[in-house]
Amino acid sequence: MVSHFSGSLYALQYQSNGNTGTLTQKQQTSGCGNMPSWLEFSASASTAYCVDESSYNSPKLSSLTVNTDGTVKLLGQASVSGSDVYGGLFGNGFIALAEYDPGTMSVYSTQLSSSSQLLSKTKFTISQPGPNSSRQSS
């Protein structure tokens, strides 16, 4: 499975043939927001979580059921603040999202729906810029 900043999510299949192989598209779907930036997979739940990096047009955090044939179906979706570039599962049913700018981390339950609420948000700051200060706003 791969995502693209066009808003599409692709389920792919690899077919091995000796020393070569073929990659084919099994499915193209939407539902990961405007700019899907990160996919996090829970093998035990057969669920993928899709993080939306956009900061406009109602950014989303989405969960998708991953079927045994590799295709996906939208399971749940929550509105988020946006600019999310990473999502990591932790604890028993939580996902933390890292927002590159403004330098925050947001936590949600993995039981996503239109009524999902932000559980916590932490702002990070640095005492002085590093070697590339133009890329370090926090």
The residue that leads in pLDDT, 103 or 111, is 111
CATH number of the domain that residue 57 is part of: 2.130.10.10
The number of folded domains in the chain is 1
pTM of the model: 0.89
Residue 90 lies in a domain: yes
Pairing of strands 120-123, 104-109: antiparallel
Rounded to whole angstroms, how far apart are CA atoms 90 and 96?
Answer: 7
Q: Is residue 54 assigned to a domain?
A: yes
At residue 66, the pLDDT reads 95
- Run of H or E residues at 72: strand 72-79
| Structural domain boundaries, residue 114 | 2-127
Residue 69 domain-assigned (yes or no):
yes
The string of pLDDT tens digits covering residues 42-86 is: 999 999 999 999 988 889 999 999 999 999 999 999 999 889 999
Radius of gyration (C-alpha) of the chain in whole angstroms: 17
Q: Is residue 51 part of a domain?
A: yes
